[in-house]
């Protein structure tokens, strides 16, 4: 049997109860992404001569910072449900109901990683290079949470891979449409392919010094840029264009410049062995 569209999960699958505790599918997919990212980062770190336990130590700082940053960005860039007419500011704290902005997650997550790397005296740049592909896969896994929540989809379409959305989740003005672009799926496929490309280029070109991380930014933003133009969820607009489009353009420019600059910087100095990950107390971990 050939499906004419992708069915959405039953509403009751979005959450289930264990006694007084409510378990939400969105949270489980986010956690699954985090655990996979930690596993892949640890594997790549050990390949570079590091100790696996360091990943948990630095991750202890990076993960909470990333979650807080993601929530802050989401609330700031989509203030309507929280501070608009009929909104409830207290809902901004209900992170389990969905809503993480990737740019805030990256910004504060990197800050947390920097603090953790300094605290445990390891190379910050090597850490974010090791983590980059895993972050992209984690983002892909996390998009399944949007699927279960029936959120963040694109405009109406009747393509064979269109996503069926229940009437209760259709935005105002789109009530008459039943199927929409499955942007969660578009981003999943893009992110997984991008992670594989990054791992391949890292091995082929022997990238380091933060270049893997900046390559991650370039790859991810390139996909996010066009996906943003498809989505129809509530968002702040500037000159009729979603703010996230402007942010994506800015991040793509920054990523390309930083990738080229770090490459020239690495070429201009003697390259240390990749196994040198730990920094002594007198060394600057960021420069290791």
Query: E strands along 162-219, which residues?
Result: 163-164, 179-180
Both tokens of 12, joined, read 């009751």
CB atoms within 10 A of CB 110: 20
User: In DSSP terms, which residues pair with 241 in a beta bridge?
Assistant: 238
Residue 44 lies in a domain: yes
Q: How many domains does the chain have?
A: 1
pLDDT in the model for residue 239: 80
Question: Above 80 in pLDDT, residue 216?
Answer: yes
Q: Are the C-beta atoms of 37 and 106 separated by less than 8 Å?
A: no
Residue 40 lies in a domain: yes
CB atoms within 10 A of CB 273: 8
Q: How many Å apart are CA 4 and CA 160, to the nearest integer?
A: 5
User: In DSSP terms, which residues pair with 17 in a beta bridge?
Assistant: 22
Q: How many Å apart are CA 73 and CA 75, to the nearest integer?
A: 6
Residue 279 lies in a domain: yes
Residue 217 lies in a domain: yes
Mention every residue, 6+ apart, whose C-beta is less than 8 A from residue 156: 174, 177, 179, 180, 181
Both tokens of 120, joined, read 């445990």
Residue 2 lies in a domain: no
Question: Above 90 in pLDDT, residue 132?
Answer: yes
Task: Give the model confidence (pLDDT) of 178-201 as tens digits.
Answer: 999 999 999 999 999 999 999 999
Task: Give the model confidence (pLDDT) of 220-256 as tens digits.
Answer: 999 999 999 999 887 777 888 888 889 889 999 999 9
Q: What are the phi and psi torsion angles at 8 (to 5°)? A: -80, 150
CA distances from 17 to 13, 60, 138, 147, 215 (A): 11, 28, 25, 19, 41
Mean of the per-residue pLDDT values of the chain: 87
Residue 206 lies in a domain: yes
Residue 3 lies in a domain: no
> Of 143, 144, 127, 145, which Cα lies nearest the Cα of 40?
127
User: What range does the domain containing 271 cover?
Assistant: 11-287
């Amino acid at each position: 049997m050939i499906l004419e569209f992708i069915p959405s999960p039953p509403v009751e699958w979005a959450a289930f109860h264990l006694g007084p505790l409510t378990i939400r599918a969105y949270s489980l997919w986010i956690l699954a992404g985090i655990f996979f990212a930690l596993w892949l980062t640890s594997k790549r770190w050990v390949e570079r001569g590091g100790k696996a336990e360091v990943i948990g130590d630095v991750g202890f700082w990076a993960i909470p910072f990333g979650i807080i940053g993601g929530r802050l960005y989401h609330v700031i860039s989509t203030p309507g449900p929280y501070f608009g007419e009929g909104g409830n500011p207290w809902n901004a704290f209900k992170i389990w109901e969905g809503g993480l902005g990737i740019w805030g997650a990256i910004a504060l997550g990197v800050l947390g990683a920097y603090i953790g790397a300094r605290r445990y005296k390891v190379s910050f740049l090597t850490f974010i290079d090791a983590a980059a592909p895993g972050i992209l896969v984690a983002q892909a896994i996390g998009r399944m949470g949007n699927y279960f929540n029936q959120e963040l989809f694109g405009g109406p379409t009747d393509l064979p891979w269109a996503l069926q959305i229940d009437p209760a989740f259709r935005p105002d003005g789109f009530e008459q449409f039943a199927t929409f672009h499955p942007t969660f799926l578009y981003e999943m496929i893009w992110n997984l392919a991008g992670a594989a490309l990054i791992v391949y280029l890292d091995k082929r070109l022997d990238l380091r010094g933060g270049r893997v991380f900046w390559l991650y930014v370039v790859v991810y933003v390139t996909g996010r840029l066009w996906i943003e133009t498809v989505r129809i969820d509530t968002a702040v607009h500037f000159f009729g264009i979603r703010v996230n489009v402007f942010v994506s353009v800015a991040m793509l420019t920054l990523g390309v410049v930083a990738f080229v600059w770090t490459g020239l910087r690495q070429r201009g100095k003697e390259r240390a062995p990749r196994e040198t990950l730990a920094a002594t107390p007198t060394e600057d971990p960021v420069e290791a």
